[in-house]
Amino acid sequence: IEKSPTLGSINTTDYEKRQYAQKSLEFNLKDKMFCELFPDTVA
């Protein structure tokens, strides 16, 4: 995993990154277009 800072980025722990990923997936699974574009992720 790349850990170099970039313009506008925030510094987070690996745990926080996993939490953000989980919340992002939960949010995206409620989106009809996301489910149509990524059916393998929904299954």
Domain ranges of the chain: 14-43
- Residues 30, 31, 37, 40: what is their CA dihedral angle, to the nearest 10 degrees? 0
Instruction: Write down the pLDDT at residue 2.
Output: 74
State whether residue 11 is helix, strand or coil.
coil
Give the pLDDT score at 5: 85
Helix (H) or strand (E) segment spanning residue 28: helix 14-28
Write out pLDDT tens, residues 1-43. 677 888 988 889 999 999 999 999 999 999 999 999 999 999 8
pTM above 0.75, yes or no: no
What is the structure's pLDDT at 24?
97
Run of H or E including 36: helix 32-37
Which residue's structure tokens are 């995206």? Answer: 28
